[in-house]
Amino acid sequence: MAARGNIFVRRLTMALGVLAAVFAIAYLAAVGYLYVNQRNILYTIKPVPATRDTGGLPIKEVTLLTPDGEKLNAWFEPPQPGQPVFLFFHGQGGTLDLGKWRYIRMHKQGVGYLAVSYRGYSNSTGKPTEQGLFTDGVAAYDWLKAQGYKPEDIVIHGHSLGTGVATYVATQRPARALILEAPFTATVDVASERYPFVPVSWLMKDQFRSHERIKDVHMPLLIIHGDRDTVVPFHHGERLFALANQPKTFIRMPGSEHNTLTRDGAYVRYWTFLGLKPVPYAPDSEE
């Protein structure tokens, strides 16, 4: 009986060892996949649509040149006299076309905008990286400056991934204000929450640590975040706001999700924050 018991124990030990090896191989394969494909996952570049929808706006398509030789596709509409111009940085998987409802609101208000397609996105050359997007952001600001716009004319605005770019640009260039829409403390923080069993902080290349940079922003700041955001959870916006310098304003959007803030009235809050009298606007269709 003892011999049979020993055989059973040995077989059980071997089976457990095989299961552990299979689990380890599967885990390493999953981590390897995430590591190799991390930039595809982070940036999620969508194909450029055959027909680009500008919403019937008088948009000028311009090409911005970066110091490292990339060509960025951008959409520009100048502001009405006395109005600011928004330097807008879109989110993960964004395209210029997807910003149509933003541009319509800015057009109605008389506010100008320069919406930038990062390197590798929407007819821009190159491949996206954190430092590359930072270079793109500063190049876009400098393009506006070359057009004659002064810092007090420029509002730096980012959504989601674009908040990392906007925060960086705000540490490098002066502006009238910085608006962060659904911001993260860092992309590495979001990824760590999403993949809790992966050593993300060791493996992630582009970490966009806005929580470390926000202390170097010295201009009026508005952070707006939906409390039902499942892409970048609400607490990221709260924590980033706590780390920021004055003057600063935080707006909680009850019931809003990551991509519904424009529809839910964010731009009326922006106009008020900037001291502008909101122009009435009702969309022709549900967004």
Report yes or no on 237 lying in a domain: yes
Burial-class residue 84 by CB neighbours within 10 Å (0-12, 13-18, 19+): buried
Domain ranges, residue 53: 37-273
What total of structural domains would you count in the chain?
A: 1
Report yes or no on 206 lying in a domain: yes
pLDDT score of 94: 87
Report yes or no on 8 lying in a domain: no
Report yes or no on 215 lying in a domain: yes
Burial-class residue 270 by CB neighbours within 10 Å (0-12, 13-18, 19+): buried
Q: What is the 3-state secondary structure (H, E, C) of 190-227?
A: HHHHHCCCCCHHHHCCCCCCHHHHHHHCCCCEEEEEEC
Beta bridge partners of 74: 62, 116
Dihedral angle sign, alpha carbons of residues 230, 232, 237, 239: positive
CATH of residue 102's domain is: 3.40.50.1820
Report yes or no on 26 lying in a domain: no
Q: pLDDT of 53-102, one tens digit each?
A: 787 899 999 999 999 999 999 999 999 999 999 999 999 988 899 999 99
Q: pLDDT of 207-262, one tens digit each?
A: 999 999 999 999 999 999 999 999 999 999 999 999 999 999 999 999 999 999 99
Q: pLDDT of 19-56, one tens digit each?
A: 667 657 776 676 777 777 778 878 878 777 666 778 78
Instruction: Answer with the residue of higher pLDDT: 42 or 12.
Output: 42
CA distances from 33 to 30, 41, 52, 130 (A): 5, 11, 34, 20
Q: pLDDT of 183-208, one tens digit each?
A: 999 999 999 999 888 888 889 999 99
The two tokens of residue 135 are 């270079």
Report yes or no on 209 lying in a domain: yes
At 171 the three-state DSSP class reads: helix
Report yes or no on 196 lying in a domain: yes
Report yes or no on 286 lying in a domain: no
